[in-house]
Structure 1
Amino acid sequence: MALASRIKDSSFRFKQFTVHQDRCGMKISTDGVVLGAFAGRGNPKNILDIGAGTGVVSLMLAQRFPNAMITGIEIDKDAAKQASENIHQSPWSNRIKILNQSLQEFQRKQDIKFDLIVSNPPYFPKHLKSIDQKRNLALHNDSLSFFDLANGIYSLMENKGHCWLILPPEQMDTINKIFEFLGLFITEKLDLRDKQNKNIIRTIQDFSYSKGAIKKSIINIKDESGEYSKDYSELLNEFLIIF
């Protein structure tokens, strides 16, 4: 979902940082900023951002969790370089690092476990591809299948850790089955829709190794008048300059 407050030079200005994105296939979107604002609870110490893109989710998590060290992995070389530059220019450059690696490669080399993992993963099948190769890499799951994503999360997450994903409802249903097979269960769920009585367009879910009651909520992006809703504005108030 596109976000309206992009500025003319292809950068995006937040209240505490700016994200440049001209070399990234996936631009700043509602998906990323809602995930960055909502995902995670408590006081995580070691965070992994899978598919870091511009670095926006890592930056938002650094703002929210001042004691956390954050690792972002990004398979696209240009996007990883630009994300690193965005991090370097932010107030939290000493707490975030971006690695130009696939999840599969990172998983093979990594022996550290993470107490918070987040991802806004690619989800389109390859038959919908465009001629833009960078955008294909960001949006299509050829290089990171849902099984590989789930398996990587399973191997990299601490026993008491949590993983937060954002996906359209149909794709979330698919990955739910994989997670359940691996022994990961939903603990919290946020549905996102454009307006009241409209279909759910995105779902954010928190997964952990503990099975229990699921906390559920819903946010309408806009109210009936077409303005941003109170819930949506409050969620992003600490980040977006339009609020």
Structure 2
Amino acid sequence: MKNSSFQFKQFAVQQDKCAMKISTDGVILGAYAGQGNPKKILDIGAGTGVISLMLAQRFPEAMITGIEIDKDASKQASENIRNSPWNNRIRILNQSFQEFSKHHQDKFDLIVSNPPYFPNHLKTEDYQRNLAMHNDTLPFEELMAGIKSMMDQEATSWLILPPYQMEETNKIAEVLRLFAFEKLKIQDKPAKNIIRLIQGFSFLKKDLKISGLSIKDEDNKYSKVYSDLLKEFLIIF
């Protein structure tokens, strides 16, 4: 998923100006996160705008705000939105999430994020890529505190992270009285290690629903669960 343009069934995404290209993480989150009929959605770290676009396709009554700190990425995301069928329902703002959450008074009923998660010591010399990949500009403590402040009482928030980073985020969420109610374990293949987790958080404490998704079967073909999840979006299904 690293070409300069990526074609979905109902929209196209240009990504040559974005450090982080469309990824499997992003499209799984965009297809999986959320439930019901949310009216106000926040996408933290919008990147190319792909998750905002997928959510607009899934939730036809929602107004969506995407926050993107990188200037070039936010411009390209805005272009992708303008060229989509949902340009009247999505806006992209070029600012930090900390600044947005400090001054924005409205609440959201669905918040999603595919956040940067690498620590500072793994940085490259590419400043734009560092913004997209490294969490020193958006530490998990500030991310979760900001998410909590933006959530309506009945809202849900959804993150995708590697297992270790999700464990750290769960500790922060527990202190903030945000509770995981759903967990999706993602593997490349059934016998492989878990590479990512998607978790849904809310203010309500209830039993945790756990499920799994293997991207491919043992015969190296896309699994039915994966293809069913993305069949409304990816032209390969």
Q: So what's the TM-score if we normalise by structure 2? A: 0.99
Deviation at 1:239, TM superposition (A): 0.3
Matched, 1:77 2:46: no
Deviation at 1:20, TM superposition (A): 0.4
Letter in 1 for 2:93: L
1:165 maps onto 2:159 in alignment? yes
Distance across 2 between alignment mates of 1:126 and 1:78: 22
C-alpha distance in 2 between matches for 1:202 and 1:11: 25
**Where does structure 1 lack aligned partners over 5 or more consecutive residues?**
none
How far apart are residue 21 of structure 1 and its match?
0.5
Distance 2:129 2:22 in 1: 13
Alignment match of 2:174 (pick from 175, 180, 197): 180
2:126, 2:236 → 1: CA distance? 30
What amino acid maps onto 1:35 in structure 2? L
Structure 1 counterpart of 2:192: 198
- The answer for unaligned runs of 5 or more in structure 2 is none
Query: What is the CA-CA distance between 1:108 and the residue it aligns to?
Result: 1.4
- Mapped partners of 1:25, 1:14: distance in 2: 20
Instruction: Tell whether 2:11 aligns with 1:17.
Output: yes
1:160 alignment partner AA: E
Identity %: 68
Correspondence list, 1:49-88, <5 A: 49-88=43-82
Q: Secondary structure at the match of 1:205?
A: strand
- Partners of 2:222 and 2:163 in 1: how far apart? 22
> Residue in 2 aligned with 1:36?
30
Alignment of 1:103-122 (within 5 A): 103-122=97-116
Aligned to 1:137: 131
Q: What residue is the counterpart of 1:214 in the other structure?
A: 208
Runs of 4+ aligned residues of structure 1 deviating over 2 Å after TM superposition are none
2:122 match: 128
Partners of 2:58 and 2:71 in 1: CA distance: 27
Cα separation, 2, equivalents of 1:13 and 1:74 = 22
Q: Count residues in correspondence.
A: 237
Deviation of the 1:133 alpha carbon = 1.3
